[in-house]
Amino acid sequence: MGHGHGHGHGVSASASGRLVGRLWAAFAIAFAIMVVEFAVGVLTSSLALISDAAHMLTDVVGVGLALAAIVAARRSRARANRTFGVYRGEVLAALANAVLLFGVAGYVVFEAVQRFTAPPEVPGVPVLLAALAGLAANVVSFLLLRGGAEESLNVRGAYLEVLADLVGSVGVLVSALATLLFGWRYADPVIGVAIGLWVLPRTWSLARRALRILFQHAPERVDVDELTARLATVAGVSGVHDLHLWTLTSGMEVASAHLTMAEGADQADVLQAARELFAVEYGIEHATLQVECARSASRCHELSW
């Protein structure tokens, strides 16, 4: 009978594409501090510093994945057999970041528990200096990525890792001060456990969001039943079926639906009104709509899936 679509999302709609420079800067900072913290941590046997360096490693890998996903998405735009590009690469990168964070947090907690029986002596001054350098670097990276964290799931993954490292650097700083001022050997493993446990809830939130996109669930902000009811009130619409909503990647939400026309309704008017409803009230500008008569609609209901 007819179909229509509205799409305000061009290729540049992927929010991460506008943040490449910041991602590169965060990558360089994280790599440099990671090397310093690993070296000092190994030389001083500081678990807190090694755990913070491990979190820095996830920053390096995570931001690298984010950059790789953006580059791949850009290069795939012109290929006709990839109608949505490879924007899902951003979501996969975010999920990979979450898996890395789970692994690091688990390792740090396990290793710290082992050390409680015989905590090693950790020199405070080198750990303190490394922690200060890590804290300064994380503050810079935090400010670089904070603005894009709400626009892109991929950038949010890198942002959460930087935030975790910032808190981790504060923890290492506290551990070093406790060692220097009070000679308390348990400060290092205690802070190591605290860093590992602190990051877990944030990691779960990131993984959950990524999995919702990969499973093509409707965006959490949209009430599907409410949207169906609103479409049914559009002038000229007598029924709504086969409504689907999903997120392609951060900032790119997609919808499709079949609308049954009432007797005497104008197809162009129904399409225009429905597209405006999606765009204005729900912020979904890429909606593919099929308008059909009652007889055609009955055939759609016969589909097994």
Residue pLDDT, tens place only, 69-124: 666 666 655 455 666 767 787 788 778 878 877 887 787 778 777 777 777 677 77
* Domain finish residue from 188, 214, 240: 214
Return the CATH number at 134.
Answer: 1.20.1510.10
Find, among 244, 256, 250, the residue nearest to 216 by Cα: 244
Whether residues 171 and 280 fall in one domain: no
For 192-209, the pLDDT digits (tens) are 777 777 777 877 888 898
List the CATH number of the domain containing 292.
Answer: 3.30.70.1350
Mean pLDDT of the 239-245 span: 92
- With respect to residue 1, please indicate whether it lies within any of the assigned structural domains: no
pLDDT at 139: 87
Q: Is residue 75 located within the same domain as residue 25? A: yes
pTM of the model: 0.71
Element spanning 260, H or E: strand 252-261
Residues 165 and 234 in one domain: no
What span, in angstroms and rounded, lies between the C-alpha atoms of 248 and 16?
13
Q: Which of 57-61, 257-261, 275-279 has the lowest mean pLDDT?
A: 57-61
- CA 133-136-137 angle, to 5 degrees, is 85
More confident residue, 169 or 297: 169
Within-domain flag for 50: yes
Long-range pairs, 81-84, Cβ under 8 A, ≥24: 84/248
Longest dimension (CA), the chain: 86
Half-sphere CA count of 29, side-chain side, radius 13 A: 23
Residues 175, 87 within the same domain: yes
Q: 134: burial class by Cβ within 10 Å (0-12, 13-18, 19+)?
A: buried
- Let me know whether 222 and 264 are in one domain: yes
Confidence at residue 8, expressed as pLDDT on a 0 to 100 scale = 41
Highest-scoring range by mean pLDDT, 94-98, 165-169, 230-234, 264-268: 230-234
| Domain contains 3 | no
The answer as to whether 4 is a domain residue is: no
pLDDT in tens, 140-194: 888 877 776 666 666 776 777 677 777 777 888 888 888 888 878 788 778 777 7
Same domain, 229 and 199: no
Residue 5 lies in a domain: no
**Are 75 and 125 within one domain?**
yes
Per-residue b or e along 83-119, where b marks 16 or more CB atoms closer than 10 Å to that residue's CB: eebbbbbbbbbbbbbbebbbebbeebbebbeebeeeb
In a domain? residue 233: yes
Check whether residue 135 and residue 270 sit in a common domain: no
User: Do 68 and 193 belong together in one domain?
Assistant: yes
Same structural domain for residues 95 and 196? yes
Contact (CB, 8 A) for 255 and 261:
no
110 & 246 share domain: no
User: Does 192 fall in a domain?
Assistant: yes
> How far is Cα 194 from Cα 12, in angstroms, rounded to an integer?
40
Return the pLDDT at 204.
Answer: 86
Q: Which of 150, 184, 214 is the last residue of a domain?
A: 214
Range of the domain at 260: 218-300
**198-205 LR contacts (CB < 8 Å, sep 24+):** 198/164, 198/167, 198/168, 199/55, 199/101, 199/104, 199/105, 199/164, 199/168, 200/101, 200/102, 200/105, 202/160, 202/163, 202/164, 203/98, 203/101, 203/102, 203/105, 203/160, 204/98
Residues 247-256, mean pLDDT to the nearest whole number: 85
Looking at per-residue pLDDT, the higher value among 56 and 264 belongs to 264
Which is more confident, 9 or 222?
222
Question: Looking at residues 61-74, what average pLDDT do you find?
Answer: 69
Single out the residue in 174, 191, 214 at which a domain terminates. 214
Domain co-membership, 174 together with 227: no
pLDDT score for 258: 92
Residue 305 lies in a domain: no
Domain count of the chain? Answer: 2
217 CB-near residues (< 8 Å, 6+ apart): 246
